[in-house]
A and B are shown apart, each in its own frame.
Chain A
Amino acid sequence: MDRAQARRQPAWAELAFVTVLAAGVLAYLTEARGVSLGAQNLLLLQPTALLVLGLWAVVAVGCLTRRADPDAPRETAGDILRVLAMVAAFGLFIAGLERVGYDVAICVFVLAGLLIGGERHPAALLLFPPVFTLAVILGFRLLIPYPFPTSLL
């Protein structure tokens, strides 16, 4: 069965994503028009935003009329969950930098990253995160002129 004969399978997740982006662009255009309708404010912004909104319609139609691709690689639920776990861990790491200190946040994130990546060797899990944290904290203290909060180092 080739792709032209395949059954229609709308790409709902992609449609939702592109719609959220288009909504953001519309909100930006509305806010900018609220600031001023003058050319000096909207010279580049307005035509570009209108172009993006027009293209949203084209992409959305493409998502709705998409046909299933029999050759597309299949992702398992485990694969997707592992990526989402890494994204979540990275988000928590960024959120925790100023709260728990850069040293603790780095050490915990590297440990979490190793576990998500499938590392199970106790020596690697125990040694790599603290050694790497020490090297990063000391190295960046030498390199950058700004102070960053740490809890232990």
Chain B
Amino acid sequence: MIDTVAFGGAVAMLAGSLDAWIWVIPGLLIGLVFGALPGISVSMAMALVLPATLYMDFLPAIIFLTSVYTGAGFGGSIPAVLINIPGTSSAVATTFDGYPMARQGRHNEALGAALFASCIGVLISYLILLMLVQPIAEVVLRIGPFEMAAIGIWGMVLLGSIGGSTVAKGLFAAGLGILLGTVGMNTAGYMRGDMGIPWLLDGVPTIPAMVGLLAASQLFALVNAKFIVESKEARRISLRRILAGGAMVLRHPVTLLRGAGIGVFVGAVPGIGSSIANLLSYGETKRSAADPENFGKGEVRGVIAAESANSSSEGGSMATMLALGIPGGGATAILLAAFAMHNIVGGPRFMEQSRDVVYAIILSNFAQAAVLVVVGTIFVYGASTIVRLPLRFLIPSVLVVSTMGAFAIEGSIAGPITLFAFAVLGWLLSRYGFPVAAVVVGLLLGRLIETEMLRAWQLAGGDPWYVLNYPWAMAIVALMVVSLSFSLRRDFRRRRALRSAASPG
């Protein structure tokens, strides 16, 4: 599976070039800062530094950009844990348990767990990439609308697992999110729900809506509190506790490996990427846990599941980009642009002719993951001081930065308006016990599921049995059904055990 001659060439290439290494730490730091800024996406951070790579050699340029990619992948989880703002869309699921942990004064442990899960996730994904780059690419080529729709529906099913105060409220919120995700013009050309507003034709701006729902709504609810962490004792920033959080990751190897597996597979599928991988991994971890009721209340396994999946999706999307020349998302599209700037075309021929360079990129990412442990720990230590800031300063400041981030994404007032509308909606939803996270997931998946269902419908000519011709889609649905039935059976047994324990005699 590994071409040993090319592998040796890659080692020699990295060992003999200082240029290949000096950009790793600056790249990671840039990624961490930009990833931690709400509204500045991974791809935007990479786009901003892309011109700087023009005068570098090819390998240092790609290593610099992948360092930014790796740093930003983790950077998004810092505001997700500390202030409930997913710095990037791939950190949504990190907020579900990371923020409750921070509110309980366990921000050190949450950030440590997120950092170590991210670093190990990157390592695992590149290890898989090193071994299986070609087979992964071949599988990706077989994924069509039926399979994509099945993945989307898998994600939708997990919406049921994001509980509110009642199941009906959870489903109501999820349905609302899916409907919001279908606003605008669909791929068949029908315009719905745009209310005559031109910018709604492209749909509800997802990132401002997400930041509004998750973060701004929480900030409104905190107006009467003094600090994010109420207890003065718990506000301490401790390197020992950050590292203890990292050690928790090693105590949950199944959660970590499942997250990494989902991340690599989903990340490799063009157009889905890390935004969905973290949600799928979180949902699967919660569903398969013996104590799912603890999730959403500050359960470290939720953080590990989300972070291992979103960081390992980097390796998956790199597999598609390197082997097929297809960018899975914005970040890999910028990497391909960097290839083009150096007159190199990614894809099968590049894989065949420059396998040593491919191995060098993969090997340098191992090093990046290791360096991220150190750089990330120092960064997290500094970023954690946010819990010591009084909320009367933090609330208006974060609302302003989120507004500017929303403007940066849309390039118009559409972003801030969306942010405000969804902040109010999110505040009211959480006030009345509806799970805001379910609306966010529905919003992210609504458009994807509709698009893929439409393509599948068109391919099948309206015949639902046509899906039988797509064994991969059937396999995904079968996996989903088996996993669901196991969790239902376990739920049923637990309830029966609780009933028998409660009954007298």
Interface residues of A (CB under 8 A from B): 11, 13-14, 17-18, 21, 25, 28, 31-32, 35-36, 38-41, 43-45, 48-49, 51-52, 55-56, 58-59, 62, 79, 82-83, 86-87, 90-91, 93-94, 97-98, 102, 106, 109-110, 112-114, 116-119, 124, 128, 132, 136, 140, 143-146, 148
Cβ distance B297 to chain A, nearest Cβ, rounded Å: 17
Taken together as a complex, chains A and B put the C-alpha atoms of A11 and B431 apart, in Å, by 12
Cβ distance B149 to chain A, nearest Cβ, rounded Å: 10
Q: Is the CB of B408 within 8 A of A140?
A: yes
B154 at the interface (CB under 8 A from A): no
Known: A45-B450, A119-B392, A145-B411. 18 other contacts (CB 8 A): A14-B432, A17-B428, A25-B176, A31-B193, A41-B186, A44-B449, A45-B179, A62-B168, A82-B224, A83-B220, A112-B396, A113-B395, A117-B223, A117-B390, A118-B392, A119-B390, A136-B400, A143-B48
Q: Return 23 A-B CB contacts under 8 Å, by A number.
A: A28-B179, A28-B192, A35-B192, A39-B462, A40-B190, A41-B192, A43-B453, A44-B178, A48-B178, A62-B166, A83-B220, A83-B223, A86-B395, A94-B403, A94-B417, A97-B403, A102-B404, A116-B223, A116-B392, A117-B391, A117-B392, A140-B404, A144-B404
Taken together as a complex, chains A and B put the C-alpha atoms of A122 and B330 apart, in Å, by 46
Cβ distance B91 to chain A, nearest Cβ, rounded Å: 19
With A52-B172, A143-B40: A114-B432 Cβ-Cβ less than 8 Å: no
Taken together as a complex, chains A and B put the C-alpha atoms of A48 and B153 apart, in Å, by 13
B292 at the interface (CB under 8 A from A): no
Taken together as a complex, chains A and B put the C-alpha atoms of A4 and B224 apart, in Å, by 31
Across-interface contacts of A119 in B (CB, < 8 A) = 390, 392-393
Across-interface contacts of A17 in B (CB, < 8 A) = 428, 432
Q: Is the CB of A49 within 8 A of B179?
A: yes
Kindly identify which residue among B171, B186, B404 contacts A55, using a CB–CB cutoff of 8 Å: B171
- Interface bits B366-391 vs A (CB < 8 Å: 1, else 0): 00000000000000000000000011
B360 at the interface (CB under 8 A from A): no
Kindly identify which residue among A44, A87, A91, A116 contacts B446, using a CB–CB cutoff of 8 Å: A44
What is the chain B residue whose CB lies nearest that of A148?
B407
Across-interface contacts of B128 in A (CB, < 8 A) = none
Taken together as a complex, chains A and B put the C-alpha atoms of A44 and B156 apart, in Å, by 12
Q: Is the CB of B397 within 8 A of A39?
A: no
Across-interface contacts of B342 in A (CB, < 8 A) = none
Cβ distance A117 to chain B, nearest Cβ, rounded Å: 3
Cβ distance B147 to chain A, nearest Cβ, rounded Å: 17
- Interface bits B271-313 vs A (CB < 8 Å: 1, else 0): 0000000000000000000000000000000000000000000
Cβ distance B8 to chain A, nearest Cβ, rounded Å: 42
Taken together as a complex, chains A and B put the C-alpha atoms of A119 and B391 apart, in Å, by 10
Q: Is the CB of B457 within 8 A of A39?
A: yes
Q: Is the CB of A44 within 8 A of B223?
A: no
Taken together as a complex, chains A and B put the C-alpha atoms of A109 and B427 apart, in Å, by 19
What is the chain A residue whose CB lies nearest that of B219?
A86
Taken together as a complex, chains A and B put the C-alpha atoms of A146 and B416 apart, in Å, by 14
B117 at the interface (CB under 8 A from A): no
User: Which of B179, B186, B462 has the most A CB atoms < 10 Å from its CB?
Assistant: B179
Across-interface contacts of A102 in B (CB, < 8 A) = 404
Across-interface contacts of B188 in A (CB, < 8 A) = 40-41
Kindly identify which residue among A32, A38, A144 contacts B407, using a CB–CB cutoff of 8 Å: A144
Across-interface contacts of B424 in A (CB, < 8 A) = 87, 91
Taken together as a complex, chains A and B put the C-alpha atoms of A93 and B417 apart, in Å, by 10
What is the chain A residue whose CB lies nearest that of B224?
A79
Cβ distance B116 to chain A, nearest Cβ, rounded Å: 29
Cβ distance B386 to chain A, nearest Cβ, rounded Å: 15
Q: Is the CB of A114 within 8 A of B192?
A: no
- Interface bits B117-128 vs A (CB < 8 Å: 1, else 0): 000000000000
User: Which of B216, B400, B462 has the most A CB atoms < 10 Å from its CB?
Assistant: B400
Q: Is the CB of A58 within 8 A of B168?
A: yes
Across-interface contacts of A11 in B (CB, < 8 A) = 432
What is the chain A residue whose CB lies nearest that of B152?
A44
Across-interface contacts of B390 in A (CB, < 8 A) = 117, 119
User: Which of A44, A58, A94, A145 has the most B CB atoms < 10 Å from its CB?
Assistant: A44
Q: Is the CB of B223 within 8 A of A82?
A: yes
With A91-B420, A119-B393, A132-B400: A98-B413 Cβ-Cβ less than 8 Å: yes
Across-interface contacts of B433 in A (CB, < 8 A) = 14
B324 at the interface (CB under 8 A from A): no
Across-interface contacts of A93 in B (CB, < 8 A) = 399-400, 403
Across-interface contacts of A41 in B (CB, < 8 A) = 186, 188, 190, 192
Across-interface contacts of A116 in B (CB, < 8 A) = 223, 392
User: Which of B171, B224, B457 has the most A CB atoms < 10 Å from its CB?
Assistant: B224
Taken together as a complex, chains A and B put the C-alpha atoms of A102 and B413 apart, in Å, by 11
Q: Is the CB of A136 within 8 A of B396?
A: no
Cβ distance B47 to chain A, nearest Cβ, rounded Å: 9
What is the chain A residue whose CB lies nearest that of B172?
A55
With A41-B186, A119-B393, A140-B404: A48-B413 Cβ-Cβ less than 8 Å: no
- Interface bits B394-429 vs A (CB < 8 Å: 1, else 0): 011101110110011001110011011001100110
Kindly identify which residue among B392, B397, B416 contacts A94, using a CB–CB cutoff of 8 Å: B416
What is the chain A residue whose CB lies nearest that of B193?
A28
Q: Is the CB of B413 within 8 A of A97?
A: yes
What is the chain A residue whose CB lies nearest that of B180?
A28
Q: Is the CB of A35 within 8 A of B404?
A: no
Across-interface contacts of A148 in B (CB, < 8 A) = 407
What is the chain B residue whose CB lies nearest that of A50?
B175
Q: Is the CB of B221 within 8 A of A52?
A: no
What is the chain B residue whose CB lies nearest that of A142?
B48
B243 at the interface (CB under 8 A from A): no
Across-interface contacts of A43 in B (CB, < 8 A) = 450, 453-454, 457
Taken together as a complex, chains A and B put the C-alpha atoms of A49 and B172 apart, in Å, by 10
